[in-house]
Amino acid sequence: MTPLFRKFLGINWVIVINIVILIGFGVYAIYNAADGRPGFENKWSDQVIWSCAGGVVFFVTALLDYKWLRWGAWIMYVAALGGIFLVKAIGVERSGAQSWIEVGSITVQPSQFAIVAGIAVLAIVFGDLQRVVPVFRYPFLRILLGSILAVVPMALILKEPDLGSAMVWGPMFCGMILVGSIPFRYLIALILIVMTILPLAYFFGLKDYQKRRIDTYIRMLTTTEAKIEDVQGDGWVPYHLQLAVGSSGFEGKGPLSRKIEDQRSIHRTFFPHEAINDFISGVICEEFGFRGMLLVLSGISLLIFQCIFVAFYARDQMGRLVVVGVVAAMMTYVFMNVGMNILLVPITGLPLPFISYGGTFMVVVLFMFGLVQSVWVHRNISPAKNPRERAVEA
């Protein structure tokens, strides 16, 4: 049995099956969301193609020892920053944000690649750098370097403006600090500093339309009068999202429901084109009801718990931090996407992993979980030994 085939058999196939089921349901949800929208008829087949491309990336990444991140992470980070700067020069604007680059018929979002590059470099800073450069054994220096590496891309992404992708960096950074052998007092001090900066970020860092989204969200939560005033303006989408979710019931109004002939589809009538990506949670709630959304969240929760299980068995601190970074990013995506569809948080424009439509996002997410699989597959290989030494012992 060849070492490569042995690695292939050692993949955590429960995670693979879980991902395949989520992607399959996502394709079906996109098919339902795109039904009746001109120009969106083939989006579900595009999602299948991107999922297959991401699957190749997933398995290649899983079979490679993640120790390549010690040098590759810095290349990824510089390339991601280059992509963000390139967006400023030749990026296309959609929905008020200049966050995409068109490469032929393909649209690429560099901010998504920056997130996975950030996970890789932060895992090195908090898990491996003090071994190579002894001066970084002091927690303050590791936090300072990690903060610079996180704040620079986050600020650039925020200026696009892409508030949703920028918000992922905060929980991801805090989660990796929590596991990265950093004293808890540093985390508390960092959170307090961020809380003092948030008002400045609101007044000077956000665009006017982003401020209006937050203001509308607060007014819709506090007063009925404000809801009536805003429903024809910035509150149009949140209001109809509430109607779609609230009218779905247990069964929903989609193909699995007996009520499809009695009630019209709110998302097909009122939702903008983002129904297949940013607002996919609201579509699932309306089409498949409470039971459909419960199954989706259960599948995602199972996947997150399996990743935490992998983190416990990581062979070194760097691998553990890679998994923690992926888990933190995943939880942020899910919380923000589902939360904004039920008015728990303001609308920020974050997709739902494995479910929302998006080629770049699908490939990036599968790459992240390929790293998780690599940590699992190589958990029993000592990082201190090179391949020749392991072959002699075998």
- pLDDT of the residue at 51: 94
Give the angle subtended at the CA of 252 by the CAs of 39 and 279, to the nearest 5°: 45
pLDDT the model gives residue 36: 61
Distance between CA atoms of residues 299 and 352, nearest Å = 13
At residue 383, the pLDDT reads 58
Q: How many CB atoms lie within 10 A of CB 229?
A: 14
Burial of 203 per CB tally in 10 Å (0-12, 13-18, 19+): exposed
Can you read off the two tokens belonging to residue 141? 């220096």
Spatial CA neighbour of 361 closest among 343, 390, 337, 384: 337
Q: In terms of residue numbers, what domain contains 339?
A: 3-393
What tokens appear for 331 in the block? Answer: 């939880």
Q: Which residues of the chain are under the pLDDT cut of 70?
A: 1, 35-39, 95-97, 205, 209, 220-236, 255-274, 382-394
Token reading at 127 = 């898990």
Let me know: does 338 contact 325? Beta carbons within 8 Å.
no
Number of structural domains the chain divides into = 1
Quote the pLDDT of residue 155.
87
The answer to whether 74 and 146 are in contact (CB under 8 A) is no
Query: Cα–Cα distance between 57 and 79 in angstroms, integer?
Result: 18
